[in-house]
Chains A and B, each alone.
Chain A
Amino acid sequence: MDGIRARSLPAPRVHTVGHVGGAPIHYPHGVPDSWISDEMRAAVGREYGSARKSLPISLSDIRRWALAIYYPEAPPRLFWDEEYAATTSYGGVVAPEEFNPFAWITADGPNLPTNFEGAVRGSGPEGSLGIASPETNFVLNGGIEMEHGVRMRPGDVITSGLTKLVEYRERPTRLGLMLITVTETTWTNQGDEMVRISRSTGLRY
């Protein structure tokens, strides 16, 4: 009998975890009342990961970035025309402020591919902090704040410092109980000048 019961499907169970627009939201039983564990709460303020150094930025990297962003129109000449850029106050080509010099390969070698298939676990900072990750299934980019310093130029080597866990919070949404994680990273160049401070908001549910 135990075997028969074990094979029968359990009745769907739901619980109410919040409200959106006045209507109660019922989530499947697997969704906890909170994603934030005590050890996650205790980790707020800690830094994690390791510093990364880019390879020297190439003019081609900058040109291709600008072409991708401005497609299907031509990007500003400042990002691809050396002769023109030399006449500006920058004295040469600079990168668009949002440029990422860490794509594909860094001074440590090629980036290893990330497996985004299936359940997304460990996509937050918990693994690097040595604590258990919440069992969320999806991850989204919730937003970003960028403070820009000096411009990135061809030949620059950019260092991304350790990342700081700034905040966890959560709220009920139509997609589920949303775990919101805010992290902060600072980039500097080879002259130790601030290039960018990025504060990222990750959403998991």
Chain B
Amino acid sequence: MDAEVGQELPTFERMSGFHAWNRYAAVNEEFVPIHMDDDAGKAAGNAGAFGMGNLQVAYLHALLRQWMGDEGRIVSVACQMRAPNLRGLRTIAGGRVVAVRPEGGETLVDLEVWTQTEEGTVMTPGTATVALPAG
């Protein structure tokens, strides 16, 4: 598998809403009012309930796995939670290759990654490094 600087990753997209958040709450034991209740989301300064930041992190991992396939290795992922993923928004995880470097017999790829809304609001800007599968 090859990667080139500037290359854009195919996006990984999911609708934001209780159908996804409740499933994530169930597996991560993450039952927090701001993710379950519009009033709690508003009291915290947002337009309503919003999804878990950890679920956005999972989507960034899914983005990288979708691109590399099973034999790729995620070395690291980092992101900031900048904007809430509100109900009804389409969460679009994207990425762009910023460096390709050989290291220890592997090809490491540094990426800029993010989740954003369809309108272009970046919710979780971040970075990642992966090791590409050989061949």
Which residues of A line the B interface, CB within 8 A? Answer: 61, 64-65, 67-72, 76, 78, 88-90, 96-98, 100, 103-104, 111, 116-117, 138, 140-148, 174-175, 199, 201, 203
Contacts and interface: CB of A to CB of B under 8 A. Distances in A.
Interface residues of B, number: 39
A148 B62 contact: no
Contact of A201 (B70, B74, B80): B80
Given A71-B20, A98-B77, 18 more contacts: A68-B24, A68-B26, A68-B28, A69-B55, A70-B62, A72-B19, A76-B65, A96-B58, A117-B33, A141-B52, A141-B53, A144-B53, A144-B78, A144-B79, A145-B76, A146-B76, A148-B74, A175-B44
B27 interface: yes
A116 B14 CA distance: 27
A89 B133 CA distance: 11
B29 A103 contact: yes
A69 B19 CA distance: 11
Given A103-B27, A201-B80, A97 B61 contact: yes
A116 B33 contact: yes
Interchain residue pairs A-B with the least CB separation, the first 4: A141-B53, A145-B78, A103-B29, A143-B80
8 contacts: A64-B27, A69-B55, A88-B70, A97-B77, A116-B33, A117-B33, A141-B54, A142-B81
Contacts of A143: 53, 78-81, 124, 126
B127 to A, nearest CB: 9
B5 interface: no
Contacts of A69: 24, 55, 58-59, 62
B57 A146 contact: yes
